[in-house]
Every structure is written in structure tokens, then in C-alpha cells.
Structure 1
Amino acid sequence: MVTDIPTAEGVVRGHRGRRVLRWRSIPYAAPPVGELRFRAPQPVRPWSGVRETTDFGFAAVQHRDGARIGPRYIQPTGEDCLTLNVTAPAAPSSAPRPVMVFIHGGGYVFGTSALGLYSGARLALRGDVIVVSMNYRLGAFGYVDFSEFSTAARTFDSNLGLRDQVAALEWVQRNIAAFGGDPGNVTIFGESAGGHAVVSLFATPAAAGLFHRGIAESPPADWALTADEGRRFARLCLEKLDVAPGDTATALTALSANDIRKGVSRAIGKVLWEQPGSFPIAPVADGDYLPRTPIDAFADGSAQALPLIIGTNRNEGTLFQRFDRSLPTTEEQLHTALTRCGGSELERRVVAAYPGYPARKVAVRMGGDFVFWRPTVEVLAGHSRHAPAYSYRLDFSPRAVRIAGFGATHALDLIPVFGGVDSSVGRVLTAAGGYRGFLAVQNEFQDNWLSFARTGKPLASWPEYTEQRRSTRIMDHPARVEVDPDRTKRLTWEGVRVPALT
């Protein structure tokens, strides 16, 4: 099978895997290095001849452990990371295939599209679709707004990670037809920060027309900074970088990528420690590229009126309680976050909705609901007034995962979505039981995701979400529909927003 594909920028050569064709690390923008550091993505310089795309290039700059893609292999990281991957069924098709573009998570500070699960081979074969996955700039290089420090000689742009995602979608529009895909039928989907990217793209005018529907899995949907918050955090980053005020433009260009990463990591840590519930690495509602925060855009109808699936996992917080303290899952953290959101009265109201608090298990559930479920419900309410919206919640978890105390934790949905129940990871998770149930949940996810990608609607068994009924598909074994699940908790969280960054 020929894997040489002519793109608008030049010919790329992929490789044939088992029943699929793959192209890896195709550049969708110029390397953002040197004078292009902290600048909006620029066009790729066309090349002559054939470009080999059989191996992965760099992951975005991050702590090396975030780019681990195997037990013994960590992907190299670097600023030259603006690439994407394409996976397509090897069998010929008589018509252009639907396209599913995946945006990885990792809190906007770690992750890579090179993770084996994200290749989408099983999803592509099951649904006869083309799967695209992208890298985008992370942390300091993608989500800190240094634009205040632009000079006549050196410009710094805002929302670089978001701009990268738009540039990748523009590449899809230019080139995916050459791979057998339909540029008129593009679904974006992502998990965690990737799910947040999906809701952000709905609110980004530059993304209009580049995709036709979206799936947001476990998005912390009200992460966003105002312009003032973005400036304050950028100044904190410069303080941690020990950059003199009059030397900012020169220093940000000359410092090594790793020095910048480490300095900004110190600034992130300070915010997370002192202001639980706030998260400083997020798009900035600058009034220009991102006119309004995504949560406000959904509320007022200025987000793109396209079909949206959005949902969370029942036990989002357990993963963070065990491995990552960036989310409020302890009594102390929750007290600070809730009182910053609405004072002692809000804290009393929320605590009353979680019987057993402050028991550890209940506090972790509260923290997960606060960060993920609370804003997801707000997106559903706002978007359902203007466009089709579909709500889900993952409740199922294999026995070994429950025994370990995780339940349906954050990111567990990625395994069934990408068809990983029969992978090595899936086999480990189901070694103590639950294989048939997990496989049924995988079928439920994939059948609905693929139906949505083809038609803009999930299966008929999944009704639209409305504010009158709030129908939610419960991903369990068996799956079911519940009307307004956890209504008391929903009403308790109504109107609560993530606390402002000070």
C-alpha cells in the first residue's frame, strides 16, 4: 500500500501497520523557536522531495516524566513540537471518511500525542474513520500571556496553545482529503485539558468552520483567566524566572526552554498551594482571540451552535488525591476554595449536600465534582438552549480499580473510547474481573462516539439534554438514562464559579 501523500506543504511518507496506515509528526506550523518563541503559529515552509513521517519527533516542552509513552521510554521534548499524526484504515473507501481530531489532556502542562492509546487504530477500524492527534505548546510556552511585555522589536502573542490547536484544524481542512478524509465532517474530541480545549474552541471565533461537532470528556470547563489575571500570573512567572522588568523581551527570547519551564513551574506551584481551586495555566479571555471565557460564551450563546457531547466520570477526584495535589481534595483545600468562591455560607451549603463530609472519600468526591462536574452542568444548561447537547457520566470501573480505591476515576474513559479493553493495560485492569462489563462499556462509548462523528447524533437510546429533563446517559453495565442525576448536588453548585486568581 502506497503511503506517500501529497499535502499542501509537501509529500509525506508514512508506514503500514496492522490494517491501518500511519503518518507521524507531520508539521502543521513552523517550529516556534528563536524569534518565533511565544509567537502565534506561523506557516510551515514547504519542502521538496519526500518527508519521512514514520517516527515521532518531539513532545512539547514539559517535565520529562510527562512525556513517558512506555514503561522504559520517554519521548524527547523540545520547542519544535507543532506536529500531528494521522491514522487511517488501510482498506480503500468509496467515499471520504469522517475525521476525528483528538486533543490530549495533561493539565496544559504535560502529555503527548505519541501515547500508543491515542493512535486511534482500533477506533479508526471499528468506525471506518480517520483519527488525527496533535501536539500543542504546553505550560510556559502555550498558556502564559506575556503579551504585556511586547516591544516594537519583539512581539509576544496570547493564547498560544489555543492558536496551535486552531492551526492544526486548519491543516486538517487543507490536507485531510488527500488521506481519504472528509474536511466537511470533522469532530473534535479531547479529555481533561483536551476536553477543555474542545469547549474553548467552541468559543474561539478563529475556529469557526474548522470543525462540525465536539466531544468534551471530563473538562474543567470554567478554567480560564481574565486579561488582568493573565497579566498578574505572567508577572509572577517573571519573578520566579528572576527577570528584571526592563529586560523581559530579551530574557524570554534568550533563556533556555528548560529554565523557563522550571521557573514557570515554581509560579504554578505557588498558586496551587496558596489558592486551591484556581488554576493559572489556561486560556486567557483577552477580548480578542478569545473574546469571552468559554463558560460565559456557552451561557450567552456566543459559542458555536454545534452539537456537543460532554460529560464526566463519577469518581474524578480519586486519581488526583492519590497522585496529583493540584486539585482540592482535602478538607483544608476545599475550605479555602469554597470560602474564596462564596464565603462560609457557600461552604455550609455544599457540605450539607455531601453527607459524611469531611470523611476522606466524601471530600475527594466533592473535589472532583467541584472541578469537573459542576462546570460541565453549567455548559450543558447554556449550550442546550442554542444547539443539541448530550450529557453522560461514566460509572463503571473494573473490580481491580474499585479495590484500589479509584472507582470510575479521571481518565478511565480513555481506555474504552480508544478501544483499549483488550490492550495490555485493559487486561491488567480486568485481571480481577469485570472484563465483560468493561467491554460492554467500550462498545457503548465507541458506538455513540462514532455515530456522533458520522451523523452529529449519538444512538437513538441517548436523548438530548434539556434544562427541563436533564437526561444523562450513564455509562455502566448495563447502560441507562437517568433524569437529572444528583439533583440536590447540582442545585447546590448552581452559580458557583472557579475562584478568581489573585
Structure 2
Amino acid sequence: MKKGSTPYPLDLSFRGFIEGLTFLSATSTPLCHYFGGIPYGLPPVGPFRWQKPRSLPKCYRYGTRANPGRFTGGVGVCPQPNPEGDVVGDEEDCLQCNVWVPVGERPMRGWPVLVWIHGGFLQFGSANEDDLRNMLSETECKVIVVVPGYRLNLFGFLASPEMHSEEKGFEANVGFWDQRLALEWAWQNISYFGGDASNITIGGYSAGSHSTFHQLAYDLGVPDEKSIVKRALMLSNGPGMQPKSLDSAQTQFEELLSKLDIPLDLPASEKLVKLRGMDAKTLLEASMHMKYHQFRAVTDGSFVRRGLLNEIDNGVFAKRMVRRGIKLIMGECEAEHFVYGQWRPPQNSFDSLLTRLEADYPLTACEALMKYYYPDQKLPAGCKDWQDAFGRIYADIQIHHLERGMVNALVHHGAGDLIYRYRMEWRAKCCDNMWFKGWGVTHGTDMAIWFWGGEHRLTAKEKPLVKRAFHSNLTKFLKGEELDWGTEHPLQIRTLKSTGTIVCEEDSRLEEGLKVWEILKSVGSTGLPRNAKL
């Protein structure tokens, strides 16, 4: 990443002095500025593993004028499993962010700001994966982009009621708390980089989109004077179900202890000491052999409110969005399931698929979904095997169906004017460098559209199409301007067809999505049971 660059010093006022990079073109033209690995919180290591992230103290300085802090690399990569089953990443101290800044004269109020959350099922991924040089130098999308690292898998989402009741130093959902601290850091410090702290959009892809929903939900629950988010981008993921209860997480916690040979009858304090004393690789290797191997958010009543998804159904969510004028872009790719089916797929049987879903979702939800999708326990038409079926049902629940349930409820409760829906059925040629061509417009292929090719390049023929289809509207959205979306009503979808044409059309999958939303609602998986009181 350092090729074609020159040092870029910056005065951060009371935070001291730092040095990043100015990336240069082949002709030495400045493309953008970059600061990699800037701490936004203190290291969550040793006794602070599984504690809430700690803010930088007021006296914290990144460097001095004579010896500035040099941030030219990237964020620490949280230990994580890769698709091959190996442990990669060795930095539990991952609470840093990468900051991308446009070149040129900033607007009077400062550059708009996008806090972007990387994806990876909440189990893997890194803030270092995004390359914004092409976008910031070739398009009108001149915004500051802050990409934080955060704790993943069991480091970010281990939960246990016994630890909460007996150990005040143990917190659930610390990965989400990390993201919130990064958002607050951007709000408090982005003006020193030339950004407008009053114009912050939060967004993400895949698990980053799911995280965006939870960050938006949290922000809607704080007093107006503490709110940060002005707009949200939820790309290829929806709200998901109401996360599992804290009590139900105990089963997963005890399974982890058993895999690590930690006696279940030890006092909670001793269990925590043993867990904190183990190295990251040992913990992760044990987790990869568990039945409940996915570590995701839980309903803790603190970051994730009880009945959160009910707030969508009963109008609370919509009313808060309307009161603050928070706009939302959300949508999907045509064939999300090909990539989704690759992550920890089940064996080729009905029972194995049920077991795999239980790693992510509450048992009652899994049973309801299996009964609806496979009433005779046979492979449905259109699925070549149970791994294929897994990719399709997983994509439906993570993206297609629950996104539709959320959108429909927001529109029903008066927030339709704030919603912009899309669908991608076209992919750029540069996607062939990363995704099997036969998968078509699968999960992740549209990142070339949103980030102008990313580290790869769009062809000269593709650029006008991408700009016309979505990138001009993305620029307007991040600036807070009116969009030229073209839909006649908020349930319509702006679709980029495989031919390169743009069509605003009715949602052919809306009815099916709402049916699944209602099924999950009936078993309490979108919040509280239908007749429960908030």
C-alpha cells in the first residue's frame, strides 16, 4: 500500500501530531490522504479481554511535532478463523481505525463522513481490506471514510449470564461496543481531519450492514444531544432476528469451557481467569470444533434492547427515524446465496442443516424455518444438495426476507420517504478477480459499484454506467442532498439489470419475505411474542 506515496503530516490539536501518507498516481498527482491504524480506544487485552472498550484518556497524545505518531500501516487484525479452518490474525489490540481523506479544498463545513464497518459474519474480516484510492480520486464522492477494527468471534461476542452476574468486568456484545466507541471517536475527532462531525453516515456490508442496523438502533435509543448518525447504508444484510437471550448463551459458553477442559463447577471468577490466561489460538481452535461455533450478539438489555425487533413492527423505530430525519439505503444482490453457502456449510442432510442453523439462531426459529422450507424433510426443487439449501435459506434470513419485513414495517408506520431500496443484477469485470464467474451477481460483487472498483479498476465503459446507476446517488446521499432514485413508491426497487439498464420495479419477493417475517414473529424471533407487552 505504501508504493507511490509521500509522508503527510497533520496537526490534531490537543491530540498531538500524526503522520500518514498521501497516495500518488503514476504521474505523482495526489490521489488521497491515508492514516492507518490510529487508536480509538485502549488495548482490550489481558484483564480487559471481554470488557467494554475503554476510551482514550483526555491526556492521550498521538505524537509531538518533533516526533509525530506515524500511521502508515493498518489496523491490527483480530484473531480469527479463515475459510480453510486455520487461525489467522494475532492482534487482540485491534481498536484502531483507518482514515481516508480526500485531497483538495474542503467544503466550508468540512467533508461529509462515512464510518464504514467491515463484514465477515462477525467472525472474520479486517478494516484493511478496503482500498479507496480510485473512488476518492476519480469520482465526486469526496468524503472522509473511517474504517474501524473491532473484536470478532468469541473475542467480540462471547456471552454468559453467570459471568454478568458475578463478574462486573465481563460484558456481552463488546464487538458492538467497540464499533460504538469508534463512532464516538469519529464524532469527537473528525473535525481535525477536515470532516464535518454533524454529517456522519454509518454503513457497512454483510455483517457490517447487520452491525449498522444495531448501531442505528442503539443511536435511536440515546437522547438527541448524544445521537451521531444522520444516515445509514445497509448493504446486503438486514436486521436479522432478535438476538438470542443472554440465558441461552450459557449453553454455548459451557460448550467452550468443555472444549478447553475448564471444569464447569469452578466459580465464575476462576473460569474467567483461566479464559483470560489462554492464548488466542487455543481459544479459537477450540471454538471451531463446537456445535455452537458462531459467536453473535445476544439480547443483553444494554446494547441490544429486549423487544428490539418489535420496535420495528409497532412503529417505534419508524417514528424515531422520522423525528430525526434519518435516511436509509438498503438492498441486495441477485444471487447472494453462492457466497453465503461457503461459510461453515452443513453435511449433506436435513438434520445437519438444522444443526448448522442452530449455531446462529434460536432453536424455536430454526424449527419454524425448517418446517416452512422443508415440510416433508426433503430437498426442495432448485437445490442441488443440502449445502446449496443452506446457502439459500441463510441468504433469505440474513438478507432477503427480514430486510423486506423491516422495510414494510417502516413504510407502514410513515418512514417510507426515508427509504431507498436497490437490487444488483449486474457485475463488473473486475469481480472475476475475486469471485467465481459462474456465481453471477453474488454476495460482495456489488462492492465494485459502491467503492468504484476498490483495489481493482472499472473499465472505461463501466464507469459511466456505475456512476449513472448508483454512484452519483451515493455521493448525494453522503452529502445529505436529495436523491434521483426514480421509484414511484418506497416499496419499489431500483434495479441495475444484467444488461446495464436501470429499472424501477415492483418487488417480486415481497410477499414471500413478509410470510417468513410473520412466521418468525409468531415464535418470538423478531422481538417479543405477538401479544406480549413492551
Q: Post-superposition shift, 1:260? A: 1.7
Q: What is the alpha-carbon distance in structure 1 between the residues aligned to residue 347 and residue 308 of structure 2?
A: 22
Residue range with higher mean Cα deviation, 178-187 or 222-231? 222-231
Q: Which of 48, 58, 61 is matched with 1:36 structurally? A: 48
Post-superposition CA distance 1:20-61 (Å, at most 9, x none): 111111000000011111100102241352211111242112
Aligned match for 1:51, one of 64, 69, 83: 69
Matched, 1:309 2:323: no
Contact 2:402 2:513 survives alignment (8 Å) = no
Give the counterpart of 2:127 among 109, 113, 116. 113
Q: 2:208, 2:347 → 1: CA distance? A: 20
Q: CA deviation at 1:347?
A: 3.5
User: Residue 63 of structure 1: which of 76, 81, 98 is its match?
Assistant: 81
Q: Secondary structure at 1:382's aligned position in 2?
A: helix
Aligned residue type for 2:100: T
Partner of 2:298: 284
2:409 pairs with one of 382, 389, 393: 382
Deviation at 1:439, TM superposition (A): 5.9
- SS of the residue aligned with 2:401? helix
Which residue in 2 is equivalent to 1:165? 179
TM-score for the superposition, normalised by structure 2:
0.78
Change (3 A) 1:150 1:248: farther
- Whole-angstrom distance in 1 between the partners of 2:38 and 2:55: 13
| CA displacement at 1:111 relative to structure 2 | 0.5
The answer to whether structure 1 residue 4 and structure 2 residue 16 are counterparts is no
Contact 1:67 1:111 in 2 (8 A): no
| 1:372 counterpart residue number | 399
Question: Hey, what does 2:494 align to over in structure 1?
Answer: 473
1:22 alignment partner, one of 15, 24, 34: 34
Number of corresponding residues: 470
Which residue number in structure 2 is paired with residue 199 of structure 1? 213
C-alpha spacing 1:339/1:252, structure 2 compared with 1 (3 Å)? closer
Partners of 1:333 and 1:367 lie apart in 2 by 14
Aligned match for 1:405, one of 420, 433, 438:
438
CA distance in 2 between partners of 1:119 and 1:179 (Å): 19
- Equivalence for 1:454: 479
- CA shift, 1:100, in A, is 1.0
Q: Say if 1:327 and 1:371, in contact at 8 Å, map to a contact too.
A: no
Say whether the 8 Å CA contact 2:132–2:451 is kept in structure 1.
yes
Gap runs ≥5 in structure 2: 1-6, 25-30, 358-364, 526-534
TM-aligned CA distance change 1:186 to 1:491, over 3 Å: closer
Q: CA, structure 1 residues 292+456, in 2 after alignment: closer, same or farther (shift >3 Å)?
A: farther
Separation in 2 of the partners of 1:335 and 1:328? 10
Distance 1:109 1:76 in 2: 12
Distance 1:439 1:109, change over 3 A: farther
Superposed counterparts of 1:315-326, under 5 Å: 315-321=335-341, 323-326=342-345
In the superposition, relative to structure 1, how do residues 154 and 177 fare at CA in structure 2: closer, same or farther (>3 Å)?
same
1:412-451 matched pairs, under 5 angstroms: 412-420=445-453, 423-424=455-456, 436=461, 440-441=465-466, 443-451=468-476
| Paired residue type of 2:146 | V
Give the distance between the partners of 2:352 and 2:466, measured in 1 at CA. Answer: 34
Q: Which runs of 5+ in 1 are unaligned?
A: 69-73, 273-279, 428-434
Q: Contact 1:190–1:198 (CA<8 Å) still a contact in 2?
A: yes
Change (3 A) 1:148 1:386: farther
Greater Cα offset, 4-13 or 196-205: 4-13
TM-score by length of 1: 0.83
Instruction: Report the Cα distance in structure 1 between the residues aligned to 2:426 and 2:151, rounded to whole angstroms.
Output: 33
Instruction: Tell me, yes or no, if the aligned pair for 2:75 and 2:127 is still in contact at 8 Å.
Output: no
Secondary structure, counterpart of 1:496 in structure 2? helix
C-alpha distance in 2, partners of 1:441/1:457? 19
C-alpha distance in 2 between matches for 1:192 and 1:462: 24
CA distance in 1, matches of 2:442, 2:405: 21
How far apart, in 1, do the equivalents of 2:370 and 2:89 lie?
45
